[in-house]
Structure 1
Amino acid sequence: MQLDAADRKILASLQADGRMTIQALSEEIGLSPSPCLRRVRLMEDGGVIKGYVAVVDQKAVGLPVSVFISIKLERQKDEELDRFGAAIRSWPEVLECYLMTGQRDFLLRVVCADLAAYETFLREKLTRIDNVSSIESSFALAQVKYTNVLPIGP
């Protein structure tokens, strides 16, 4: 989907406030409400806008620990990579998972309440996946920056 300047303005505004009304959005970007709504719907239907969520503070809900986990598999065949991905998709502790280049095969971002909860996750889930040869965990001491706003630009 080709995005023009108006589409990019819409996306920038919705990233700042996903709850804004079409009226407010149209006023902010300088389009009338009907064409503004049509553009939003086209971007939703085209998969540019994937959904709308509330951004929740992980500490406020009792999940202050962030762990970045590097995973190395014994074999990197397609079916093995797919099997690992399928295993972790249903685990709510895993917020992000990336297939990587370099020394490790996957990088995960996991949140949990404390070290005991992480140990349970590690022992009862992660170490039970076949084909995992190594697991390296790094605990975040502080969050220096977090955003889910993409730098779309004009």
Structure 2
Amino acid sequence: MTEKLDRYDRHILAILQDDGRISNQQLADQVGLSSAACWRRVKVLDEKGILKKHTALVSPEALGYDLCVLVMVTLIRHQQDDAIEFQQAVQGYPEVLQCFAVTGDADYVLRVIVQNMAAYDSFLNEKIFNLPGVSQVRSNFALREIKNETAIPIDL
């Protein structure tokens, strides 16, 4: 979905990605619009799904999630039912922060956060290994975070 965005919309998006708690008046001042015009533009960006979600980013470590794992999952065969069931299941697992269908050696890559190795072992044995069609699971453990951005690059 490529949406034509003018310079005001792009500027609004750039500012909101940096500070989602900014007031509408402050946003309007920074973009150079009236408060009402700015509010209408943000509302349209919301309605079109360009602004996907208003949220706060929380430190996983502050809540005891000390282990980040990149999990590569391969299904036994590429049957649509197994793929659909897998995708639906991982959407319900709070430990899974991201899931991508990928090309290459695996069918899916998951970004999983858990408290420790025992919690990861439970996650695998109670959830992933119980899904039909799962053939292989390979885990890569993050040693440290180098970069973790949420902002989409925007040309102003």
Q: TM-score range by the shorter chain?
A: over 0.9
Q: Distance in 1 between matches of 2:115 and 2:105?
A: 29
Which of the numbers 44, 67, 71 marks the counterpart of 2:46? 44
Instruction: Please give the per-residue CA displacement for 1:57-99, whole angstroms capped at 9, x wherever unaligned.
Output: 0001110110000001011122221111011110100000000
- CA distance in 2: counterparts of 1:60 and 1:138, whole angstroms: 22
Aligned to 1:27, what secondary structure does the other structure show? helix
Aligned residue identity for 2:21:
R
Residues of 1 paired with 2:106 and 2:52: CA distance? 29
- Counterpart residue number, 2:59: 57
Question: How far, CA to CA, are the matches of 1:9 and 1:22 in structure 2?
Answer: 13
Counterpart of 1:147 in structure 2 is: 149
Describe the superposition over 1:9-65 as per-residue Cα deviations: whole angstroms up to 9, x where unpaired.
000000010011110000111111111111000000000001211100000111011
For residue 89 of structure 2, what is the aligned residue in structure 1? 87
What is the TM-score with the length of structure 2 in the denominator? Answer: 0.96
User: How many residue pairs are counted as aligned between the two chains?
Assistant: 154
CA distance in 2, matches of 1:113, 1:26: 41
Q: Match for residue 132 of structure 2?
A: 130
Which residue of structure 2 lines up, in the alignment, with residue 113 of structure 1?
115
| 1:34 corresponds to | 36
Counterparts of 2:140 and 2:121, CA distance in 1 = 13
AA at the equivalent of 1:140: A
- Could you tell me which amino acid in structure 2 is paired with residue 60 of structure 1? A
What secondary structure, in the 3-state scheme, does the structure 1 residue paired with 2:43 have? Answer: helix
With structure 1 as the length reference, what TM-score do the two structures score? 0.97
Q: Aligned residues: percent identity? A: 38
Structure 1: segments with no counterpart, 5+ residues: none
User: Structure 2 unaligned runs (5+)?
Assistant: none
Backbone CA RMSD of aligned residues: 0.8
